[in-house]
Structure 1
Amino acid sequence: MELDYKKIQTERLPTLYEVLIQKTKFPVDLWSFYTFLSQFPYAINYLDFWIDLMAHLRLCKDYISGIRESITYNQNEARNSRIRHHLQYTSEESIQHETQSIQHHDDPEGGDEDDDDDDNISVTTSVLLNALLDEGHLDFENPERVSQFLQGNTEYSPKLSQLLEDWKRHSIANNDSNRKGSLNRNNSNVRSRETNGAALPDVVDDILRKQSQQEERAKITTKQLLNNALKICSIYLQSPERSERYLTNLPDDIRLKALNLVQNERRHDPQVFEELKSIAFQFLEMDCFPKFLSTVALHNIHDEISDWRFHSNARSHNLTRVDKSLIKNHDHISKSPFSTYTLLSRTIFGLLWLGIGFWIGYTLIFLKYDRGIRVVTIVPFAIGNYFIICGMYRVDIIYSWFGVTQRLLYKHNEKNRDADREVQMDEKNGKNHHVSGILALLGGRSRLIRIEHPFIKNILMKRGLWCLFLVLLSTGIFTVIFSCVPGYRI
């Protein structure tokens, strides 16, 4: 499967989904897409929203995986218990019989009843979890069933409803038998009422909590899922006054519906954000991704993008600690004009060399030098046409031959301790893709990086050959004109 995917990448450009799930390589990787959108504040909010939704979905999957692990744990514990019981029964049957008789004589209503209660609650828990697995509530291939489970909706399943009632009854009985005294009985009654009114996710949370205490390993609960869903609503859906990352141009009915489901109905299942996720994906796919591909896949020289986070007129109280630190250090700005304004600088530099070529050509013509000497104009004409055509097509011929391209944003020279994972990833990529200094002429070495996507490398190679043809053609035309015209001494 991996070989087929690599073969496909040599035949076509990547899709948006492949970029979002980090299947692609530079210059069409997720970090490059994120960097490209950073010049559009409203667009990058949609990408952040989609990423946070995917993180919430992974959190839900981890929660379901924890339940499945709990089922495996209970099954292993039950199997080990039966084995230990069988070995103990066969090897020490007579001693065990005498001991049980003495214990029964001393406390006829004590130990056996407690053991039976523990066994009952353990068996009921195992049966309940197994029923969730059998009916597909723990299978993310069936998202509708998973959402029904996370909502605590058991009315459609009589079996689950009955098992849930059995678990509550055994749990209440076990709590009552383990507590003595009037005060303890009052506490037990309170807990019994809480247990009796608990929904299915709450019951599963209680099971996972007890098991995590035994295993000494924390597990995700529905409370964490709800808090994460509330956080997403607070950042992206409530109001632009509360968050700089508020999503604009969303349909109000869909936005208010999601807010009501999370804040009022306390839902946190993935289907709550399904419509919003589709809207965000469609916006990124139809409006943003084509512009991104046309920029990075067809060109290997770029003007440094204007990141809105670094503007001096940005509202400082809404900036993150990362953005404030970057503004303070000014590491996002290259000091080289050939790096910051690549296209304009190349065009001006090319026109300058063309002017030099015209000056030399006219001087040699009006001084009536031989045609063989006037051929020297090929040098300034070649240099001038090279930079002008490369600036016009935004394709550097030498870069295309060596398979390198310019970053969209200047690479930070020093690692910022407060920088987030994206900045660190950008620096890491720069260290892993060292580019020779000779290729950094008129481009800024800190912005060069190797192209890893094979199809894009082939596209840029072909465009580089076309640009080379135009350079040779225009250079030949200018050189022939200035070499072949008759000389005239003024």
Structure 2
Amino acid sequence: MAEESTLGQPPRNRLPTLSEVLHRYTLSPVDLYSFYIYMRDQQRSVDYLDFWLDVSQHMSLCRHYVRELRRSVLVATPELEKSGSKRSSAALENIGDIPLVEAGPSGFRTGNVDTTEKDADQRLSAFLRSEGHTSQASPQGSMDSARKVPSNERPPRPSFMNSSPDTKNDSNSPSHTVARSDIRRSAEKILYTYLLQNSEREIILPEDMASSITEMVESDGRDDPEVFDVAKDYVFQAMERDAFPGFLRAKALENLVPPSIVARLTLALTCFGGGFWAAFFVILTDAPRNIRCWVILPFAIASYFLASYQYKIDPVMALAGFSECTFMNWLLIREPYVQLLLTKRATAALLISVLLTAALSILFILVPGKMI
């Protein structure tokens, strides 16, 4: 029985979209964890993905804050009435219920994220703007939290270890009480980490876009999620255009990482060299055919690794249901459609290696020998 994907959805008969991967609706090897490793090790642009995830986490932080505030209003505490917060209470009532789900790209709300959620997010941002921030976080403290770490040494984000989008366990949904200063600090951290010129993990955005965000956060004092919407959509489209097709090719049609591919080519050439040397040796020494049959071994290994290099797939591991995440680190293939694609390609690679082995072995076993 085919394993169902996350959220109880039936298995897809297609490759996933970037939005589905970012929302953790996919399974390995096309899940968010694998995409993060690909962006870090092969694309060398993990800062863009981290920016997108941090902005999504900022949105979740805002949702959590407003939900807590709205809950305190609904229980009608006397302190709220005494503090003259009737206007805020009415504004909170107009927001409606805020779903605690991971925020997606603001301009690409399809499927499980409908226009109702988009409207709720807009009302949330409007409420945060009208409420204003009550405390200022230290810019220096935000910048100190973004110390430079080489992207290839950066470990995966802890939230990736749990691919389930269950909001109760989602690291983007804080389990503690959220203060308004936390939202301000989160917005400043995103600004000082990714958007300011010469920041530690600066991402390349259009100059007017980065300047506009900087002005809204620093000059206007805004920290609502809509501040980062344009940049978030820009980064989403850049990843979808430049990185995601390569990721799908590397994980849905291949199951090896570049170091393993190069290693297989090296092994194939080495084994071919040894196989041809052994084959010519047994021919020129007129060895009997039962001795010549041993040339099958180096030719079989060489043909297997050559086909593995050509298809960028390890046929045996693919048929066993494993995909390489990092060098010699294998993950179980849990996405049914990807398993189907890899099984077809693994079968073709295995067939080619068998035919090549048979052709070379028969040639050197049956050719007449000559004693020198």
Q: Is TM-score (shorter-chain normalized) higher than 0.5? A: yes
2:32 aligned to 20, 25, 30, which one?
30
2:201 matched to which residue of 1? Answer: 245
The 8 Å contact of residues 29 and 333 in structure 2, kept in 1 or not, is answered as yes
TM-score (norm 2): 0.74
CA distance in 2 between counterparts of 1:384 and 1:32 reads 30
CA distance in 2 between counterparts of 1:252 and 1:27 reads 36
Residue 265, structure 1, aligned to residue 220, structure 2: yes
The 8 Å contact of residues 58 and 186 in structure 2, kept in 1 or not, is answered as yes
Root mean square deviation, CA, Å: 3.0
CA distance in 2 between counterparts of 1:202 and 1:365 reads 86
Deviation of the 1:34 alpha carbon: 1.6
Deviation of the 1:245 alpha carbon: 0.5
Q: Deviations over 1:346-397 (max 9, x none)?
A: 2232233323332333233333445565344322221221122212322112
Task: From the superposition, tell whether residues 41 and 355 of structure 1 become closer, same or farther in structure 2 (CA, over 3 Å).
Answer: closer
Residue 12, structure 1, aligned to residue 5, structure 2: no
CA distance in 2 between counterparts of 1:120 and 1:220 reads 18
2:273 matched to which residue of 1? Answer: 355
2:60 matched to which residue of 1? Answer: 58
Task: From the superposition, tell whether residues 141 and 10 of structure 1 become closer, same or farther in structure 2 (CA, over 3 Å).
Answer: closer
| Identity of matched residues, % | 31
Task: From the superposition, tell whether residues 349 and 145 of structure 1 become closer, same or farther in structure 2 (CA, over 3 Å).
Answer: closer
CA distance in 1 between counterparts of 2:317 and 2:278 reads 29
Three-state SS of the structure 1 residue aligned to 2:323 is strand
Aligned residue runs from structure 1 range 386-425, under 5 A: 386-408=304-326
Unaligned ranges ≥5, structure 1:
78-117, 153-199, 204-216, 304-340, 410-443
Residue 284, structure 1, aligned to residue 239, structure 2: yes
**Structure in which a larger fraction of residues adopt helix:** 1
TM-score (norm 1): 0.57
Task: From the superposition, tell whether residues 375 and 254 of structure 1 become closer, same or farther in structure 2 (CA, over 3 Å).
Answer: same
The 8 Å contact of residues 272 and 298 in structure 2, kept in 1 or not, is answered as yes
Deviation of the 1:285 alpha carbon: 1.0
2:94 aligned to 135, 142, 162, which one?
135
Deviation of the 1:293 alpha carbon: 1.7
Q: Which amino acid is the alignment partner of residue 227 of structure 1?
A: R
Unaligned ranges ≥5, structure 2:
99-116, 135-174
Deviation of the 1:120 alpha carbon: 11
Deviation of the 1:476 alpha carbon: 1.6
Aligned residue runs from structure 1 range 90-101, under 5 A: none
Task: From the superposition, tell whether residues 222 and 119 of structure 1 become closer, same or farther in structure 2 (CA, over 3 Å).
Answer: closer
Count of equivalent residues: 310
CA distance in 2 between counterparts of 1:358 and 1:40 reads 35
CA distance in 2 between counterparts of 1:476 and 1:121 reads 87
Q: Deviations over 1:193-212 (max 9, x none)?
A: xxxxxxx4579xxxxxxxxx
The 8 Å contact of residues 151 and 269 in structure 1, kept in 2 or not, is answered as yes
CA distance in 2 between counterparts of 1:24 and 1:235 reads 29
Residue 72, structure 1, aligned to residue 71, structure 2: no
Q: Deviations over 1:321-344 (max 9, x none)?
A: xxxxxxxxxxxxxxxxxxxx4233
Aligned residue runs from structure 1 range 133-172, under 5 A: 133-136=92-95, 141-142=118-119, 143-152=121-130
Deviation of the 1:47 alpha carbon: 1.0
CA distance in 2 between counterparts of 1:4 and 1:57 reads 22
Q: State the structure with more CA Rg.
A: 1
Q: Deviations over 1:394-429 (max 9, x none)?
A: 2112111211122225xxxxxxxxxxxxxxxxxxxx
Task: From the superposition, tell whether residues 484 and 454 of structure 1 become closer, same or farther in structure 2 (CA, over 3 Å).
Answer: same
CA distance in 2 between counterparts of 1:41 and 1:463 reads 24
Deviation of the 1:25 alpha carbon: 2.1
Task: From the superposition, tell whether residues 147 and 6 of structure 1 become closer, same or farther in structure 2 (CA, over 3 Å).
Answer: closer
1:232 matched to which residue of 2? Answer: 190
The 8 Å contact of residues 137 and 146 in structure 1, kept in 2 or not, is answered as no
CA distance in 1 between counterparts of 2:10 and 2:80 reads 56
1:460 matched to which residue of 2? Answer: 342
1:21 matched to which residue of 2? Answer: 23
CA distance in 1 between counterparts of 2:183 and 2:10 reads 37
1:254 matched to which residue of 2? Answer: 209
Deviation of the 1:458 alpha carbon: 1.7
1:47 aligned to 26, 49, 53, which one?
49
CA distance in 2 between counterparts of 1:229 and 1:119 reads 29
Which one has more relative contact order, counting CA pairs under 8 Å at least 6 apart? 2
Deviation of the 1:64 alpha carbon: 1.3
Three-state SS of the structure 2 residue aligned to 1:449 is strand
Deviation of the 1:236 alpha carbon: 1.4
Aligned residue runs from structure 1 range 420-459, under 5 A: 444=328, 447-459=329-341
Q: Deviations over 1:175-196 (max 9, x none)?
A: xxxxxxxxxxxxxxxxxxxxxx
2:285 matched to which residue of 1? Answer: 367
CA distance in 1 between counterparts of 2:18 and 2:231 reads 17
The 8 Å contact of residues 25 and 453 in structure 1, kept in 2 or not, is answered as yes
Q: Which amino acid is the alignment partner of residue 280 of structure 1?
A: V
CA distance in 1 between counterparts of 2:185 and 2:7 reads 37
